[in-house]
Amino acid sequence: MVAAALLRAARDWTADPANDEKKRQLIAQARNVGQRLGGPSGRLAAAIVGRLEGRRTAPASWEREAVRLRGHVVGVPSGPERARLFDAYVDLLARGPARDETPARARTACEREAQAVATDPLGPRERERALETLRRVRAHLPHD
């Protein structure tokens, strides 16, 4: 499936952020898919484009991106598209907010996201996976 291939390519790029040419190609591909397919595939493509273009990691930006991706997840019924959107969301969570700002702000952003995960209409396995990811991120944040 096209969306799965785009997600794999986005993960590959994330592992090597110095690869600017690949980044430009992925953004173009994701935009093209989003425009052609619309619906859940279009939302996944938009999420990938946002992640590739922004690489936003400041706590407030990370939190906004998490809210946006989580919203895409809950807006799609269960199935392969939802699973791919959820994987993209968990990947974002795993990156965590920037650690070079005040650690307290990063911890607060993680705590707010955990509260939202606890109340949003996610499946039990999705909820536990997201909360576990956030626990790991918080455990690696520096202390003030």
Q: Which two tokens stand for residue 78?
A: 């269960």
Indicate the pLDDT class of residue 20, thresholds 50, 70 and 90.
Answer: low
pLDDT digits (tens, 9 = 90+) for 110-123: 899 999 999 999 99
Half-sphere exposure of residue 27: CA atoms within 13 angstroms, side-chain side: 14
- Record the pTM: 0.62
- Domain spans of the chain? 1-55, 56-144
Could you give the CA distance from residue 87 to residue 108 in angstroms, rounded to a whole number? 23
Contact between residue 62 and residue 111 where contact means Cβ atoms under 8 Å apart: no
More confident residue, 123 or 45: 123
pLDDT digits (tens, 9 = 90+) for 85-143: 899 889 888 888 866 557 788 888 889 999 999 999 999 999 999 999 999 988 888 77
- Taking all residues of the chain, what is their mean pLDDT, rounded to a whole number? 78
Mean pLDDT of 56-71: 76
Could you give the CA distance from residue 16 to residue 71 in angstroms, rounded to a whole number? 27
Residue-level pLDDT at 56: 41
